[in-house]
A and B are shown apart, each in its own frame.
Chain A
Amino acid sequence: GAGVSQTPSNKVTEKGKYVELRCDPISGHTALYWYRQSLGQGPEFLIYFQGTGAADDSGLPNDRFFAVRPEGSVSTLKIQRTERGDSAVYLCASSFSGSATGELFFGEGSRLTVL
């Protein structure tokens, strides 16, 4: 596809369950970002990959959150022991320049609801 693809678009889970959210960036984009957007708020930074490595994971709220990008393309955000407060839209973005000064191309997000 031409844009950033995120799956699933919607995920409903129960408190305490494990969740994986997938992001397929634009082909050739070296940088990949995960943001979290709560209702009525701006996107909140979680983690940034440059290639396969996490260049900045300072936004991950706690050790229940983990993300990987093993081959430098697709990334998976993993959330263990989900809590109701984890409910939000998880946005993935990619960029070509590899820095925040390049345009970020966002996917449509994965809406996570924890019951």
Chain B
Amino acid sequence: QQQVKQSPQSLIVQKGGISIINCAYENTAFDYFPWYQQFPGKGPALLIAIRPDVSEKKEGRFTISFNKSAKQFSLHIMDSQPGDSATYFCAASPIDEKLTFGTGTRLTIIP
């Protein structure tokens, strides 16, 4: 059972544009929603995370938008740069339990 659905599978964005990746979850017990960034040959690294008591969290060019009623959350990357080219994973967990990851989005930023 896939508990966290992520889309799109791949995304190409022009440099300076906005990259948007979406995730949907089913388990209403989830209350922690991080995004991880992974470069080829490396392990995933935490990018930004949100708890459901807020609808948006911004850190630099990265913003998470969270819609509790729709059970959806998304990552927005503003002013996308070539260095942002990587695979992005959304994840979710209930408090104090293991993370469940989405299937990933391969983002490519073109000049």
Interface of A with B (CB < 8 Å)?
A: 4, 33, 35, 40-45, 48, 56, 59, 91, 93, 99-101, 103-109
The reply on B101 being an interface residue by CB < 8 A is yes
- Which size class do B's interface residues fall under? 20 to 34
B14-22, B42-50, B52-60, B66-74: which lies at the interface: B42-50
Are B99 and A45 in contact (CB-based, < 8 A)? yes
Are A42 and B104 in contact (CB-based, < 8 A)? yes
Known: A91-B44, A104-B46, A104-B99. 19 other contacts (CB 8 A): A33-B98, A35-B101, A40-B103, A41-B103, A41-B104, A42-B4, A42-B101, A42-B102, A42-B103, A43-B44, A43-B89, A43-B99, A45-B98, A56-B97, A100-B32, A100-B95, A100-B99, A105-B45, A106-B45
A106 CA to B6 CA in the complex, in Å?
21
A43-B44, A106-B44, A106-B45 known; A99+B104 contact, CB < 8 A? no
Of all chain B residues, the one with the shortest Cβ separation from A58 is B98
Of all chain A residues, the one with the shortest Cβ separation from B96 is A99
Contact flags (1/0) for B2-34 with A, using CB distance below 8 Å? Answer: 001010000000000000000000000000101
Of all chain B residues, the one with the shortest Cβ separation from A107 is B43
Taking the nearest CB of chain B, how far is it from the CB of A20, in angstroms? 19
Are A43 and B101 in contact (CB-based, < 8 A)? yes
Q: Which residues of B contact A43 (CB under 8 A)?
A: 44, 89, 99, 101
Q: Which residues of B contact A104 (CB under 8 A)?
A: 44, 46, 99
A41-B103, A43-B89 known; A100+B43 contact, CB < 8 A? no
Q: Which residues of B contact A40 (CB under 8 A)?
A: 103-104
Of all chain A residues, the one with the shortest Cβ separation from B49 is A103
A100 CA to B93 CA in the complex, in Å?
7
Are A101 and B43 in contact (CB-based, < 8 A)? no
A101-B32, A104-B46, A106-B43 known; A45+B100 contact, CB < 8 A? yes
A104 CA to B35 CA in the complex, in Å?
11
